[in-house]
């Protein structure tokens, strides 16, 4: 192996080791606390939204929020997903909210 290739491999290894060791580390307990805060905040935002009528269940795991339940219309379900996605710390929203059967609206 030539010296240039060997130097590149050593430098590449050092860079990877530095990048991995400088990555933020979060414990399982800290992640649970983050998810609890996200869940509580999303629930608060949705409960204060006067344009939503129905029942929504909020779950958060690894900063991914899952919304389920029923709202009056599909438009309300989309709005709830949008509100949840705007909460600080939310990485992604899985919106499984369904409009109530027989509800009229967009």
Q: HEC string of 35-100?
A: HHHHHHHHHHHHHCCCCCCEEEEEEEECCEEEEEEEECCHHHHHHHHHHHHCCCCCCEEEECCEEC
Residue 40 belongs to some domain of the structure: yes
Please tell me the pTM assigned to this model: 0.72
Is 60 exceeded by the pLDDT of residue 74? Answer: yes
Residue 18 belongs to some domain of the structure: no
Give how many domains the chain has, as a whole number: 1
Residue 12 belongs to some domain of the structure: no
Residue 69 belongs to some domain of the structure: yes
pLDDT at 26: 84
Residue 70 belongs to some domain of the structure: yes
What SS3 class is residue 11?
Answer: helix
Choice between 104 and 32, residue whose per-residue pLDDT is larger? 32
Range of the domain at 53: 26-99
**58-70 mean pLDDT:** 97
Residue 54 belongs to some domain of the structure: yes
**44-65 mean pLDDT:** 96
Residue 5 belongs to some domain of the structure: no
Is 70 exceeded by the pLDDT of residue 48? Answer: yes
Give the domain CATH number at 63.
Answer: 3.30.1340.30
């Amino acid at each position: 192996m030539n010296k240039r290739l060997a130097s590149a491999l050593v430098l590449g290894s050092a860079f990877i080791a530095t990048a991995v060791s400088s990555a933020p580390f979060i414990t399982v307990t800290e992640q649970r606390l983050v998810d609890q805060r996200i869940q509580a905040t999303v629930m608060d935002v949705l409960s204060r939204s006067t344009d939503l009528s129905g029942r929504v269940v909020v779950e958060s795991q690894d900063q991914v929020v899952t919304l389920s339940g029923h709202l009056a219309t599909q438009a309300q379900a989309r709005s709830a997903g949008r509100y949840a996605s705007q909460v600080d710390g939310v990485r992604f929203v899985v919106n499984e909210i369904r409009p109530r059967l027989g509800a009229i609206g967009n």
